[in-house]
Amino acid sequence: MRTPLFAVLAAHLLAATAAAQVPARPDTTRRDTSRVTTLPDIEVSVTRTSEPLARVPYAVGVLDRTDIQRGQQTIGLDEALNNIPGVVVSNRYNFSLDQRISIRGFGSRANFGVRGVKILLDGIPQTLPDGQSQLTNVDFGDIGRAEVLRGSSSSLYGNAAGGVVALQTEPAAQAPFAQRVRAQAGGGERNGDGFYKVQSWTSGRLGDASGTLSISRFKADGFRQHSAADIRQLNAGVDYVFSGTTIGTLRFSAADNPQAQNPGALTLTEYRANADSAAANNIRREADKDVNQQQLSLGLQHFDAAGNEYNVTVFGLLRDLLNPLAAPPPGELGPAGPTIGTFVSIGRVVGGARASGTRRLGSTPAAPRLSFGADIQRMRDNRVNKRAVAGVPTDSLLLDQRERITEFGPFAQLQWSPREELLLNGGLRYDWVKFDVADHFLADGVDNSGDRTNSALSGHVGASWTFGDQFVPYVNVSTSFETPTTTELVNQPNGTGGFNTSLKPQRAVNYEIGARGQPTRHVTYSVALFLGRITDAIVQQEEIGGRAFFVNAGKTHNDGAEVGLSVTPIDAVTLSAAYTYAHYRFSDYTDESGNLLDGNKLPGVPDHFWRLGLRTALPYDFYADVDQTLSSSVATDDANTLFADSWGAGVTNMRLGWSGDVGDWNVAPFLGINNLWDRRYIGSVTINGTFGRVFEPAPRRVVYLGAEIGYRTRTGS
């Protein structure tokens, strides 16, 4: 039954796919065929001040609910964030490791989790004090807006802010009660794997209180061997207006992910023979992940009569991780024990607070505005490593230690518009990060307890000039610093406990010049050129026994260009394009074997990356969206001896849908096809994998069907 469907879709969409090669940008929503508005109407807060997007002297991208959710699977950041130039999200299709997010090269070294990029959810850090981020609390079906700040941002957000992704859950509907249910299911045409996702979203308003509740479950067999996943998420929010000037907020998230099998990376020979297979050791050693996590935050926001703003937020997080690894225990690298692996368990407690304020230094609208505040976080990990047999822990203890990380960062930012066309912005932040480890495993006769402190002063200055909506040039210089994460510090080649004392923080300076504008109602553009200078860059050396270890490279140069373009030739059609040129190179790096690698490409990121899109609003409330993503080849190792091939003509994703109202009900069925032309390609790579085990294949053609059914009471009923 599927083959005729693909033939019909191919015939009808051939012209649309070709049209997607034309540069463009935003979505066209149902019944809103004039979505492109003047730039000053869009405000952003990721810069820690609320400013019109047109005026901020930084590269900022904004996505709304339509960009993130319409017809999408809502299971990965790559679905939407790749529409923003400068951002490359590499999908491993491995729910044990998360996707790799790279913003101007920051985050490109991550072989699991997110590094070098600050992640916020409703203003609450999903980035831990050591700089490692996780997406456990993020349900992309509950995200209504995303703001992405590209470039060094430590003066705003502290450690590991080479870029910032600020996600916001959907606010409560204006109606007293609203409810929608979204369900989708599908699978691959070739291997018969299946998945489904079901989500319920509820909204209510009563007096001065409003709230939302989102509950979802995603379950997948996985298109590769040993890649099944089961993800359950709950996100709740309550807002209460104490007065016309004071608002209280409560956010609670809970996630229970009992299964996230890790198929591992493949060698080139394995990939060519069977891209759906898994690494043998990952199967034998039952590589998997079981996570349970809860996060709670309370916030208070106050506005005074002069328009000044003050915010206080406190938050806490609990996380339990059970993680059978394919990596063997130290010293057991041979084939004698093919089922012998390592079992990692971590009990994590995190607490933090943020206080900030914004005051206008004068009574006139042109008076400077000062933003100030401080962030504090403290994390405690109880880490225990044991010898495991086929994924089951034994009584053989390998590591038992308590890790504590404390981060404190006061900051101040001044914004001034001495004349209407000019905006000046500058800021400073001081960060103090202390790592402390208490070794509880003393059977080896060595106490590896100790502590280390990293500190840094970060700053930024920027300016923009507005020549009307048509042309707004800007320039900025910013810095960032990034400490090693605890995982990078505790992984030592000799297998001992404690921290790797030789691994230092990396520091970066980013220079940027850019412009954005809207020369006509139908055209919007943005362009940026940037130079990044990173010293003591944290890079992964070659894996040993499947475990990654990290060192400092002397210097890297992350230089590039970004272009975003949107064209609406007619009201019902929007064409979009996002292009990233990445010239990321080692400039001073000799590896552990003494090889000089100066001039080599940074692995994990393509030199050229395109996302082209077509958005339509068809008659009778139908729509058709098409995305075409192209990537040049990617180096898989520091030595640049092995590359993942380019995506050729690119990978095409297509979505068809209809959305209509029947009284108080809205019905929105949709059909999605990912990898429409059934292309074989590499979605991501494992950097410096052992024995060339670096390739993480993407699935072939995937078809899914879904529907969203919503109900809302009429306002005032």
What is the reported pLDDT for 319?
A: 97
Q: What is the dihedral of CA 266, 272, 274, 279, to 10 degrees?
A: -10
Tell me: the pLDDT tens digits for 222-262?
999 999 999 999 999 999 999 889 999 999 999 999 999 99
The total number of residues shown for the chain amounts to: 717
What is the reported pLDDT for 25?
A: 32
Q: What is the dihedral of CA 563, 569, 575, 576, to 10 degrees?
A: 20
Number of domains within the chain:
1
What is the reported pLDDT for 553?
A: 85
What is the reported pLDDT for 362?
A: 86
Q: Are strands 118-121 and 163-169 parallel, antiparallel or unpaired?
A: parallel
Reported in sequence order, the residue ranges of 77-193 that DSSP labels E, i.e. its strands, are: 87-90, 100-103, 114-115, 118-121, 124-125, 132-133, 143-150, 163-169, 177-188
What is the reported pLDDT for 335?
A: 54
The answer to whether 514 and 191 are in contact (CB under 8 A) is: no
* DSSP secondary structure string for all residues of 638-657: TT---EEPP-TT-EEEEEEE
**Rounded to an integer, what distance in angstroms lies between the CA atom of residue 618 and that of residue 616?**
6
What is the reported pLDDT for 290?
A: 97
3-state DSSP assignment of residue 304: coil
More confident residue, 297 or 305: 297
The answer to whether 466 and 421 are in contact (CB under 8 A) is: yes
Q: SS3 string of 331-345?
A: CCCCCCCCCEEEEEE
Residue 203 pairs in a beta bridge with 178, 212
**Rounded to an integer, what distance in angstroms lies between the CA atom of residue 538 and that of residue 541?**
10
CATH number at residue 235: 2.40.170.20
- Tell me the one-letter amino acid at 294: Q
**Rounded to an integer, what distance in angstroms lies between the CA atom of residue 75 and that of residue 85?**
21
In a domain, 717, yes or no: no
Q: Which residues contact 686 (CB under 8 A, 6 or more apart)?
A: 111, 264, 265, 543, 636, 693, 694, 695, 696
The answer to whether 387 and 399 are in contact (CB under 8 A) is: no
Question: Which of 492, 408, 406, 481 has the alpha carbon at shortest distance from 451?
Answer: 406
More confident residue, 542 or 362: 362
In a domain, 259, yes or no: yes
Q: How far is CA 79 from the centre of its chain?
A: 11
Residue with tokens 């690698």: 597
Range of the domain at 181: 2-712
- Report the mean per-residue pLDDT for the chain: 88
Model confidence at 37, in pLDDT bands (50, 70, 90)?
A: very low
DSSP state of 473: E
Model confidence at 496, in pLDDT bands (50, 70, 90)?
A: low
**What does the pLDDT average to over 302-321?**
93
> Max Cα separation, the chain?
77
More confident residue, 85 or 51: 85
Q: Which residues of 118-142 are buried (b: 16+ CB within 10 A; e: fewer)?
A: bbbbbbbbbbbbbbbbbbbbbbbbb
Residue 4 scores a pLDDT above 50: no
- Tell me the one-letter amino acid at 383: R
Tell me: the pLDDT tens digits for 638-671?
999 999 999 999 999 999 999 999 888 999 999 9
Alpha carbons within 13 angstroms on the beta-carbon side of residue 380 total: 6
* Count of C-beta atoms within a 10 Å radius of residue 261: 26
Q: Tokens for 152, please give them.
A: 């060094």
**What does the pLDDT average to over 288-292?**
96
In a domain, 532, yes or no: yes
**What does the pLDDT average to over 152-165?**
89
What is the reported pLDDT for 542?
A: 64
In a domain, 69, yes or no: yes
End-to-end Cα, the chain, rounded Å: 46
Tell me: the pLDDT tens digits for 98-149?
889 999 999 888 777 788 899 999 999 999 888 888 889 999 999 999 999 9
Question: In 3-state terms, the chain is what percent helix, strand and coil (to 5)?
Answer: 10, 55, 35
What is the reported pLDDT for 30?
A: 32
Question: The whole model's pTM is what?
Answer: 0.90
**Rounded to an integer, what distance in angstroms lies between the CA atom of residue 398 and that of residue 386?**
5
**What does the pLDDT average to over 453-467?**
94
Q: How far is CA 632 from the centre of its chain?
A: 21
Residue 360 pairs in a beta bridge with 369
- Tell me the one-letter amino acid at 333: L
Q: Which of 115-124, 322-331, 405-414, 634-643 has the lowest mean pLDDT?
A: 322-331
In a domain, 182, yes or no: yes
Tell me: the pLDDT tens digits for 165-181?
999 999 999 999 999 99
**Rounded to an integer, what distance in angstroms lies between the CA atom of residue 656 and that of residue 705?**
10
Q: Which residues contact 15 (CB under 8 A, 6 or more apart)?
A: none
What is the reported pLDDT for 111?
A: 76
In a domain, 254, yes or no: yes
In a domain, 84, yes or no: yes
Model confidence at 20, in pLDDT bands (50, 70, 90)?
A: very low
The answer to whether 698 and 678 are in contact (CB under 8 A) is: no
Q: What percent of the chain has pLDDT over 90?
A: 71
Tell me: the pLDDT tens digits for 241-252?
998 899 999 999
In a domain, 410, yes or no: yes
φ, ψ for residue 193 (rounded to 5)? -65, 155
**Rounded to an integer, what distance in angstroms lies between the CA atom of residue 89 and that of residue 706?**
24
